[in-house]
Amino acid sequence: MSAIFAAGENPLSFLTQFGIEWQLLVSQGVSFAIVAAALYRFVFKPVIAASNERKQKIEQGLKDAEEAKSKLAAAQAEAEKKSAEAAAEAAKILKAARDDAKETVERAAREASAKAAEIRERNDRQLERDKIRMKDELKDELSGLVAQAAEAVVGKVLNDKQRGELAEMAAKELRK
């Protein structure tokens, strides 16, 4: 090559020996560079930007999906917790209702038993009063009958004063 330069020839003249025209090659190279620059600026750059944007959106979507998944899991756990709390509260309310019902039944039974005992006591007192009254009536009738019987048996032998004393003694004896 140094020989070519020394001869003063065009340095690209050796290309013509191979059938390549160097002016055409240079102009095609420049044209290719312009087209490549235009394609890069107006096609590749927007496509790469859109691709990057889409990639970011996909990554954001995946991140959001993962976040939604974790929120769903948390919401399900919270729902299960609330459901368990509600079930426990319902069981507590049901137990309280059963206890109240049991207490009400027991109280009603105690009140019925107390009323029954009161009625029994009242009836026993009334029966005792009736017994005493009947005894008194029976004593009065018996004393009258005894006095009449005694008068019928002894009446002819005793005078009025003795008869009165005898009736009083019989009545006293019957009262005892």
Mean predicted confidence (pLDDT) in 100-104:
93
Rounded Cα gap, residues 81 and 28, in angstroms: 75
Q: CA angle at residue 90 from 87 to 91, to 5 degrees?
A: 85
Rounded Cα gap, residues 147 and 173, in angstroms: 12
Q: Which domain holds residue 82?
A: 2-175
State the pTM of this model: 0.39
Output Rg (C-alpha) for the chain, integer angstroms: 67
Q: Counting Cβ atoms within 10 Å, is residue 92 exposed (0-12), middle (13-18) or buried (19+)?
A: exposed
Q: How far is CA 64 from CA 39, 54, 126, in A?
A: 35, 15, 89
pLDDT band at 34 (very low <50, low <70, confident <90, very high): very high
Rounded Cα gap, residues 68 and 70, in angstroms: 5
Residue 102 has pLDDT above 60, yes or no: yes
**Percent of the chain topping pLDDT 90:** 57
Q: Are residues 142 and 175 in contact, defined by beta-carbon separation less than 8 angstroms?
A: no
Residue 2 has pLDDT above 60, yes or no: no
Residue 159 Ramachandran class (φ > 0 left, ψ -120 to 50 alpha, else beta): beta
Q: Which pLDDT tens digit goes with each residue over 63-73?
A: 999 999 999 99
Number of domains in the chain: 1
Mean predicted confidence (pLDDT) in 2-20:
65
Residue 155 has pLDDT above 70, yes or no: no
Residue 147 has pLDDT above 70, yes or no: no
Query: Which residue would you say has higher pLDDT here, 51 or 170?
Result: 51
Mean predicted confidence (pLDDT) in 36-57:
94
Q: Counting Cβ atoms within 10 Å, is residue 163 exposed (0-12), middle (13-18) or buried (19+)?
A: middle
**pLDDT, averaged across the chain:** 85
